[in-house]
Structure formats: structure tokens, C-alpha cells
Chains A and B, each alone.
Chain A
Amino acid sequence: MRKIVYAALLFGALAGAAGCVNVKPWEREYLADPIMQSDYNKEEKSVREHFLGTREGSVGSFGVSGGGCGCN
């Protein structure tokens, strides 16, 4: 688990430090579109994940959030 948390931190640190990504707040119009949101239709996602989770042998479906308009 520590390795995974560390890897996540590393991923973020590298992305920032490399300066490869610096999307400004005013450039996020498309990311703010509902079709780009991870929690758009979250009720539908929940029903589907439950249906699939009871039919198939694997689970692991926490939502990853982020992106979006980056407002406030």
C-alpha cells in the first residue's frame, strides 16, 4: 500500500515539476463540460457497478475525481 501511495505522489510531483502540465483556470472550459466529469451520471454508474459486481468475480470501483473546471 505504501508503494502505491508513494507512486501516486511521485506521479503528481513529476507532472508538476516537469512543467509538462500547467493548464490555467481559464483554459478549462472543455474540462468543465459535464461529459468530461467523472461523477456525471453517478446514480447510473452505481446501478451498473452493482449489477456487474454481483455477476462477475471482481470488484474495485472507487471513483477517481478531479479535472473539471478547477473553480474556486
Chain B
Amino acid sequence: MAAIKRIVAAGAFAAITLSAPGNASAEDYSKVEGYIHSFNNNVSVYSGVFALNKDVDLDTSVYFKYNIDLINPDTGGDEGDVEGGDDDDEGGEDDALNKSRAVSAVSGASSAVSSAGGSSATDTRHALTLGASRNFNNIIGAEAYLDYSAESDYRSLTPTVTLKKDFFEKNTTLTLGYSRNMDTVSGRFMDNAEDKTVDNFFVGVTQVLSPFTIAQIGYSRNQSSGFQSEGIRLVPVDGVTADTCTDETATCVEEVFPETRSRNAYLAGVNHYFSGGLLDRSSIKLTARYYNDDWDITSYTGDVEYYKYLSEEWLLRLNYRYYTQTAAFFVKDSYSSVDEFKSSSPQLEALDSNLYGAKLAYLFKEGEKISDTVSLGTIEGKYEYYTETIGVNAHIIMAAIRLIF
């Protein structure tokens, strides 16, 4: 068995180095997207994205993206009902908890909302991405990106490198990736800023199965060390209730998480194009992901996307995603002050979620110019509905325009 493994590995290695790979250049485009994420707790997040992709030559392209998220929690009036929570009370502990869930976790940006009610303020997150990709002499393709994001209590700098190699007449693509998140956390309940480092490794293979079908498998490994919490939530201990836990005291304490976290995700997918018949000019993509980590969270994700050209100009997409996860080993209904780990984070609880969506795009005829160098590409709009069993629902609306130059 070991000999067979060595032979196959040697053969694959030789095939990789002897065969011709390379990536074709992408299209020159500019895209503007606007989003509204509207939660059932009267919290809204407004987001804008501007992206630019430009070919320097046939082998090289550069990429720029700017993203802004503006959180706007509603600070006045009726707190409103929250569906699906453990208790059915209007306002009070459960609603305040759900409000913090919405605000603190919606875009990575946090607000000054504590784990239970209290005053809130808007917050803004800025994110910038710079990237470049190049095909080196038809031997290998490489991409490098640098992401930077900043908000009032969180900064993150993430370089990413990806290598891609095609072989077997470009029927197989091997992707290897590495990124490192270098984060600085300074939540409102923290005395000092703390660092967190996350190393991410990825390997994936895409295989063309037929002129109509592509399959993918992938594995990612994520090693996190440093401050794992966000410093924006308090945990009531020793019988204190969440709605009274507004400031740090002996019975209303900061979250405490383990100092490291190791995560694994396994991905498999298939993408198929239909030609002819009722489904002519449509495609379906099915993706499944299994995740586990050393905090004992296990999750399963199933995703389906269906695209259909309604005509030469109109493209419809329907999508659905199901997700389920178990809770972290240290998550409890209530904590005592002697518990080693304490959490108010909704991310670490057992939950199921569903995401339903539809998107419609208008495709301009290629070459429909609005100036000498700029053509219209697409205009699109989407609606998605996201719902979690822990009580938060969100309506997501997006509008976007893509220009080609």
C-alpha cells in the first residue's frame, strides 16, 4: 500500500510539473453594490461596496475593493416582539439579548449595546482589499490579497496568498491557500486592547467531469490564538439576570473564552449546466460543508443555487441555505463566578438557520457603451430572508450595477 501511495504521488507530482497550466485573465469591470440588512429588532445595517478589477496584461490583473457598513440600531420606542426566543416576553431580558445579537454580530462591526439593553450608538466599519493575480509562464497561477478592516473596537489586517495549478489539460485545478488574520480587539468592556492571530490553510481541487459538470472538494484548517472574545458583551453570574447586567460588576463580568481554537471545514460541491428541454440555459450548484472545532462546535451546511436565463437579457437566481450547529462545550444557561469560561455570544450556541433568496439581473448586450471606454454590464437586485432558531430574523436587500471597461 505504501509503495502504491508513493508511485501515485510521484506520478501526480510529475504530471503537475510537466503539464501546462495557467489562468486566463478576468474581465475589466467596476461594481457598486448597496445592501440593507434589516433585523426584526429594528436594527438595520447599511452597506456599500465598490470594486474594481483591471487586467494589466493577459497574465496579470489587479483588484481593489472598498466596503463600508453602517449600523443603525433603533434606540427608542417599543422593543417589539422577538419570535422564537426561549421566553415569549415582549421587551425585557430576552428582547434585549436578541437586540445585542443582531447588532453585535451582523457585520462584524459592534456597537455600544451591551448584552442587555442600555444605550446604543451607530458604528461604522470600513474595509479595504487590494489584490493582484498573475499567471507565471503558464506554469502556475498566483494571487495575493491584503484585507484591512477597521471599526471603533476591532481592527484586522489579513494577507492572503493563493496558488493555482491546472493539469490534465485544465480539467483539474489544484488550489492552495494561506492567510493570516492579525486582529486587534478593544471592546468597550476591555481594559486594554488585545491581539488575536488566526492562521488559515486551504487546499481544494476542482474537477471538470463533463462539458456540463464541475465538482469541487476542499479542506480548510484554521488555528486561532490570542484573545478570542470581542469584549463587547457581559455575562451575568451567580443568579443575576441579563436585563440588569449593563455595567461590569462582580456579578456582571466579561466573557472568558479559551485562548486557542482549532477549526476544520470540509467542502464538497457540484455545479451542473442544463442544455435543452425545460431547464435549457440554467445551472444548479449544490454545496455541502462539514465543520468541527476543538470547542466542540460541529456544524453542517447545505446550499443550493439555481440560475436560469429567462431570456438573453434577464437572469434569475434562486438560492437556499440550511445551517445547523451544536453549542460550544462551555456554553450554559447560567454561569457562576467560578466557571472557567463564560459566554454571552449567540455565535457559540446551538442554532439552526435558513436563508432563502431570489435575485434578478438585467444583462446589457455586450458593447452597449455609455462612454468611449465604459459599457454597461449588469444591473441586479436581490431579496433574501434569513432566520435563526435563536430568535433573530433579517431581511436582506441588495442592488448593484456592474460596468465593463
Chain A positions within 8 Å of B, measured between CB atoms, are 1, 4-6, 8-17, 21-25, 27-31, 33, 35-36, 38-39, 43-44, 46-47, 50-72
Could you say which of A35, A43, A58, A65 contacts B175, with CB atoms under 8 Å apart? A65
Asked if A64 and B297 sit within 8 Å, CB to CB, the answer is no
Asked if B299 and A58 sit within 8 Å, CB to CB, the answer is yes
Asked if A57 and B299 sit within 8 Å, CB to CB, the answer is yes
Question: What A residues does B75 contact at CB under 8 A?
Answer: none
> In residues 209-243 of chain B, which contact A (Cβ within 8 Å)?
209-212, 214, 216-222
Question: What A residues does B67 contact at CB under 8 A?
Answer: 46-47
Could you say which of B5, B108, B208 contacts A21, with CB atoms under 8 Å apart? B208
> In residues 177-217 of chain B, which contact A (Cβ within 8 Å)?
177, 179, 200-212, 214, 216-217
Asked if A70 and B166 sit within 8 Å, CB to CB, the answer is yes
Asked if B171 and A8 sit within 8 Å, CB to CB, the answer is no
Asked if A8 and B210 sit within 8 Å, CB to CB, the answer is no
Asked if B221 and A1 sit within 8 Å, CB to CB, the answer is yes
Further contacts, 11 of them, CB under 8 A, given A8-B217, A15-B207, A35-B283: A13-B15, A16-B172, A23-B169, A35-B307, A52-B355, A54-B105, A57-B328, A57-B348, A62-B200, A65-B23, A65-B175
Residue from the set A13, A29, A64 with the largest chain B CB neighbour count within 10 Å: A64
Stretch touching chain A among B83-91, B111-119, B269-277, B367-375: B269-277
Q: A35-B315, A67-B271 are in contact. Are A43 and B49 (CB under 8 A)?
A: yes
Question: What B residues does A30 contact at CB under 8 A?
Answer: 211-212, 273, 275
Question: What B residues does A69 contact at CB under 8 A?
Answer: 24
Asked if B335 is at the interface (CB within 8 A of a chain A CB), the reply is no
Asked if A60 and B65 sit within 8 Å, CB to CB, the answer is no
Q: A43-B31, A59-B222, A66-B173 are in contact. Are A8 and B347 (CB under 8 A)?
A: no
* Separation of A15 and B33 alpha carbons in the complex (Å): 39
Question: What B residues does A57 contact at CB under 8 A?
Answer: 293, 295, 297, 299, 325, 328, 347-348
* Separation of A54 and B171 alpha carbons in the complex (Å): 35
Chain B min CB distance to A59 (Å): 6
Asked if B139 is at the interface (CB within 8 A of a chain A CB), the reply is no
Asked if B205 and A8 sit within 8 Å, CB to CB, the answer is yes
Which label, helix, strand, loop or mixed, suits the secondary structure of the B interface?
A: strand
* Separation of A31 and B212 alpha carbons in the complex (Å): 6
Chain B positions within 8 Å of A, measured between CB atoms, are 5, 8-9, 11-13, 15-16, 22-24, 26, 31, 33, 35, 37, 47, 49, 51, 58, 65, 67, 105-108, 135, 138, 162, 164, 166-177, 179, 200-212, 214, 216-222, 263-265, 267, 269, 271, 273, 275, 282-283, 289, 291, 293, 295, 297, 299, 301, 307, 309, 315, 323, 325, 328, 346-348, 351, 353, 355, 382, 386, 388, 392, 396, 398, 400
Asked if A1 and B172 sit within 8 Å, CB to CB, the answer is no
Residue from the set B12, B282, B315 with the largest chain A CB neighbour count within 10 Å: B12
Chain A min CB distance to B200 (Å): 7
Asked if A15 and B264 sit within 8 Å, CB to CB, the answer is no
Chain B min CB distance to A7 (Å): 8
Could you say which of A10, A44, A55 contacts B12, with CB atoms under 8 Å apart? A10
Could you say which of B9, B22, B293, B353 contacts A55, with CB atoms under 8 Å apart? B353
Chain A min CB distance to B166 (Å): 7
Asked if B217 and A36 sit within 8 Å, CB to CB, the answer is no
Q: A8-B205, A27-B211 are in contact. Are A13 and B11 (CB under 8 A)?
A: yes
Question: In chain A, what residue has the closest Cβ to B315?
Answer: A35
Question: What B residues does A36 contact at CB under 8 A?
Answer: 214, 271, 273, 283
Could you say which of B22, B167, B208, B221 contacts A67, with CB atoms under 8 Å apart? B208
Chain B min CB distance to A67 (Å): 4
Residue from the set B168, B171, B283, B295 with the largest chain A CB neighbour count within 10 Å: B171
* Separation of A21 and B173 alpha carbons in the complex (Å): 13
* Separation of A44 and B177 alpha carbons in the complex (Å): 21
Question: What B residues does A43 contact at CB under 8 A?
Answer: 31, 33, 49, 51, 65, 400
Asked if B206 and A72 sit within 8 Å, CB to CB, the answer is no
Chain B min CB distance to A68 (Å): 8
